[in-house]
A and B are shown apart, each in its own frame.
Chain A
Amino acid sequence: MIPEIGQFALILALCVAAVQGTVPIYGAASGNASLMAVAKPAARGQFLLVLIAFCCLGYAFAQKDFSVLYVAANANSKLPLHYRLAAIWGAHEGSLLLWTFILTLWMMAVTLFSKHLPEAMRARILGVMGLVSLGFLLFMLTVSNPFERLIPAAPDGRDLNPLLQDPGMVMHPPMLYMGYVGFSVAFAFAIAALLGGNLDAAWARWSRPWTTVAWCFLTVGIALGSGWAYYELGWGGWWFWDPVENASFMPWLAGTALIHSLAVTDKRGGFKVWTVLLAILAFSLSLLGTFLVRSGVLTSVHAFATDPKRGLFILVFLAIVIGGSLLLYAWRAPRVGLGGGFDLVSREAMLLANNVLLVVAMGSVLLGTLYPLFLDALGLGKISVGPPYFDTVFVPLMTPAIFLMGIGPLAQWKKASVPSLAMQLRWAFGASVVTALLLPFVLGKWTPLLSLGLLLALWIVTTAVINVRERLTHLEGAGLLSRLASVPRSYWGMILAHCGIAVFIVGVTMVKGFEVEQDLRMNVGESATIGGYTFQFDGAKDFVGPNYIAARGTFRVTKDGREVTIMYPEKRRYMVQSQTMTEAAIDSGLLRDLYVSLGEPLDAGAWSVRLYHKPFIDWIWGGCLIMALGGVLAITDRRYRLAWRREQEAAPAVSQPVGAPIV
């Protein structure tokens, strides 16, 4: 009964989405206020309906209703409740439901925080989001129904993939989807602006916080996923350039470019056409990412062929959304107009160059991810594109981007002077280069990449310091404190996010350069020393978990004779899918992680063991969190609390361009 209610709620939501996607947009085009007013209640109604459906699926999992096919395939009577609930998004159908639910959540947020938006604009935004939602609901109801019954019911479920039975599964997908789907707001804004033909600075200011929030979620979501892979997969890696990872990284790169481009549109009225294109791109990549991961096309191109209905729907949906919005773009963008002109050496030009580098990097990731699929589909052979390729391509693209990141915030708008920039930055550059060259020797090992990584990180930090000092000296105010207080928060957000990148780079560089790994055969009582830490193996004991049996090893870790910690790595065997999992033990620290994973049991209580000493690895995720924190700080700036005023709408828009329509 409950699953049928869920299904029915989805069908109703589909009807509401159909209304929401058409009536308000038509109303906005014809200037009919009562038709436009449909958007808000429709969006809220849809939110409620999808929430009901979502709860129904959750209830089916909680009640272990194995007469629902999706529940039977992804849960088991022995699976603990929190993982049963996380299993809602454990596979294809439920992930789509989560996606749609989060989309309606964003819609709800738009209805709540759009009081000051012109009626037509809001109607168009919600209308576009309704159309996206329509596509997803249709997809679910036709070929990916999470409520499909299994008759007769299964006696027990097939269980959730053991890899997914982890706290990471509870947090990572919702965060990631909040980011993915959050870009739909920026997308809807862009499409609404194209439809309405007004893209002024106010438009940019309004869409900025939405984009930044989505970007923060995506940043945290990716970092969570990376951290999860690090401790769950048992080989100590944190990023593998796996297609699934790339699928989330591409929208991030496009979103990062979008944030910077929006800043220019907001402050200078420039880059409008480009900003709109990036908004379309970021959301298109989010859609592509969702489908790449969820359609099974990555495991094998032939997964597509075994279920052609799904694949076809996905292709058609992507074609309509991406193709349609690009067509609209080609038709309407020339009317949007350009902002002011600027010199090749100016803050605008540097931001644009950074945008280009980010988009090219995104394009390379896309190329590397899809290339093997295309070759395979065309029958030209199977190849693997892995970390060696991406590292080779990515580093040369990101190095100039990070170099520009140091200069850009110091350069003047419109036209900057090279000599004065050079004067301002000469100490930062000199200090960074000298330190980056010498520091590795102090640390005990020199490689070009080690120096390059440190150089980039130091460059970001030193230029940030110069930037802050410069900013403070040009401010009026008596004391340092009052001057500090008068600096807007969005500025601190920018500085903080950039420093987050520096922290991230330090983490990556130090781990790559100084990581120590040992594969050992350890008898009970034997010890091994890496990175100054001595690991003593005290044997492994069997124990029984809720739905697995495990061997748990005990390692006593000492440094200079003093006990540091005791670590308990596990080797688990999950009963239902009879799959073996390595649960590594990790001792995290600011400057290093200790990482122990059990291999295979050998004779007489001995085990094969992998020990790692990973310096600075937590800086990788710390850097991501700092970036996200920078974003949060930026959206609390008072400029976004500025109320949208109707008078402003009537008056000629701020910095409305009069330029010729050139793309």
Chain B
Amino acid sequence: MMRIWVLMFVMAIPGLVAAQEARPLAENPQAEARLRALAVELRCLVCQNQTLADSNAPLAEDLRREVREMIAKNMSDQEIIDFLVERYGDFVLYRPPLRATTTLLWIGPFLLLAIAGTALVLAVRRRQNTLPEVIVSEADHQRVEQLLSDGAKRP
């Protein structure tokens, strides 16, 4: 029966005006959207470096199915994540959770910014206080211009 349908479609292709709409791969689009939102922050455990959403590896497919089942069981996102972390460890999360070992990771950039910003302001202030007012004089500028135009004349 299926075969006949396929055949009919193939034959109908050239003059086809309104083809039949393809079905989404997933049976439940809402659950699939939730799965996707979760999966982009989860790591495919066997891939080099891919999210669960992007990976085509068989193991990723299995894990996606498991998450789908958990969604069907009405588990919340947090419950699903907790379950996965318990089973696979923090490695499965692309957004590392804040723990004692990851504190530096999360505050590091902003700490760095604070230190660098302070150093910048202090350095600029100190320069203002220690350096003489005028360093490059008008005569200097003219001399540079002179040198530049001399140089430009040379091939």
B23 at the interface (CB under 8 A from A): yes
Contacting residues of chain A (521-539) with chain B, CB-CB under 8 angstroms: 521-529, 536-539
A608's nearest neighbour on chain B, judged by CB, is B25
B6 at the interface (CB under 8 A from A): yes
Residues of A contacting B136 in the complex (Cβ-Cβ under 8 angstroms):
268-269, 340, 655
B72 at the interface (CB under 8 A from A): no
Residues of A contacting B94 in the complex (Cβ-Cβ under 8 angstroms):
384-389
Residues of A contacting B49 in the complex (Cβ-Cβ under 8 angstroms):
240, 242-243, 386
Distance between B143 CB and nearest chain A CB, rounded to angstroms: 7
A597's nearest neighbour on chain B, judged by CB, is B56
Query: Cα distance A392–B92 when bound, in Å?
Result: 18
Chain B binding surface, main DSSP class? helix
- Per-position contact with A for B117-132: 1 when CB-CB < 8 Å, else 0? 1001100111110111
Contacting residues of chain A (644-663) with chain B, CB-CB under 8 angstroms: 645, 648, 654-655, 657-660, 662
Contact of B96 among A235, A389, A527, A537 (CB under 8 A): A389
Distance between A269 CB and nearest chain B CB, rounded to angstroms: 7
Check if B135 sits within 8 Å of A269, measured CB to CB: yes
Residues of B contacting A237 in the complex (Cβ-Cβ under 8 angstroms):
54
Residues of A contacting B23 in the complex (Cβ-Cβ under 8 angstroms):
520-521
Check if A527 sits within 8 Å of B147, measured CB to CB: no
Residues of A contacting B132 in the complex (Cβ-Cβ under 8 angstroms):
341, 658-659
- Per-position contact with A for B56-77: 1 when CB-CB < 8 Å, else 0? 1000000000000000000000
Distance between B14 CB and nearest chain A CB, rounded to angstroms: 10
Distance between B93 CB and nearest chain A CB, rounded to angstroms: 6
Residues of A contacting B96 in the complex (Cβ-Cβ under 8 angstroms):
383-385, 389
Query: Cα distance A341–B124 when bound, in Å?
Result: 8
Check if A360 sits within 8 Å of B113, measured CB to CB: yes
Contacting residues of chain A (597-647) with chain B, CB-CB under 8 angstroms: 599, 603-605, 608-609, 638-639, 641-643, 645
Check if B90 sits within 8 Å of A382, measured CB to CB: yes
Check if A654 sits within 8 Å of B154, measured CB to CB: no
Check if A654 sits within 8 Å of B143, measured CB to CB: yes
Residues of A contacting B20 in the complex (Cβ-Cβ under 8 angstroms):
523, 525-527
A519 at the interface (CB under 8 A from B): yes
B3 at the interface (CB under 8 A from A): yes
Interface size on B, residues (CB 8 A): 68
Check if B131 sits within 8 Å of A520, measured CB to CB: no
Contacting residues of chain B (86-129) with chain A, CB-CB under 8 angstroms: 89-96, 101-102, 104-105, 108-109, 112-113, 116-117, 120-121, 124-128
Residues of B contacting A381 in the complex (Cβ-Cβ under 8 angstroms):
89-90, 101
Query: Cα distance A385–B106 when bound, in Å?
Result: 11
Query: Cα distance A517–B77 when bound, in Å?
Result: 22
Query: Cα distance A234–B56 when bound, in Å?
Result: 10
Of the stretches A305-313, A349-357, A434-442, A471-479, the one at the interface is A349-357
Check if A384 sits within 8 Å of B135, measured CB to CB: no
A225 at the interface (CB under 8 A from B): no
Check if B22 sits within 8 Å of A523, measured CB to CB: yes
With A519-B26, A520-B22, A662-B130 in contact, is A363–B109 under 8 Å at CB? Answer: yes
Residues of B contacting A658 in the complex (Cβ-Cβ under 8 angstroms):
132, 135
A344 at the interface (CB under 8 A from B): yes
Check if A648 sits within 8 Å of B135, measured CB to CB: no
- Per-position contact with B for A546-589: 1 when CB-CB < 8 Å, else 0? 00000000000000000000000000000000000010000000
Query: Cα distance A107–B35 when bound, in Å?
Result: 53
A-B contact pairs, 12 of them (CB 8 A): A338-B131, A361-B109, A363-B112, A367-B109, A368-B105, A388-B95, A521-B22, A523-B9, A528-B22, A599-B56, A642-B147, A642-B148
**Lowest 4 CB-CB distances: which A-B pairs, in order?**
A386-B94, A525-B9, A642-B151, A388-B95
Residues of A in contact with B (beta carbons under 8 Å apart): 201, 233-235, 237, 240, 242-243, 268-269, 299, 338-344, 349, 352-353, 356-357, 359-361, 363-364, 367-368, 371, 375, 380-389, 392-393, 397, 518-529, 536-539, 582, 599, 603-605, 608-609, 638-639, 641-643, 645, 648, 654-655, 657-660, 662
Told that A356-B116, A520-B23, A662-B127 touch, could you supply 17 new A-B pairs with CB distance under 8 A? A201-B144, A234-B56, A338-B127, A371-B104, A384-B43, A384-B93, A385-B94, A388-B95, A392-B95, A521-B25, A525-B9, A527-B19, A537-B22, A641-B152, A654-B143, A655-B140, A658-B132
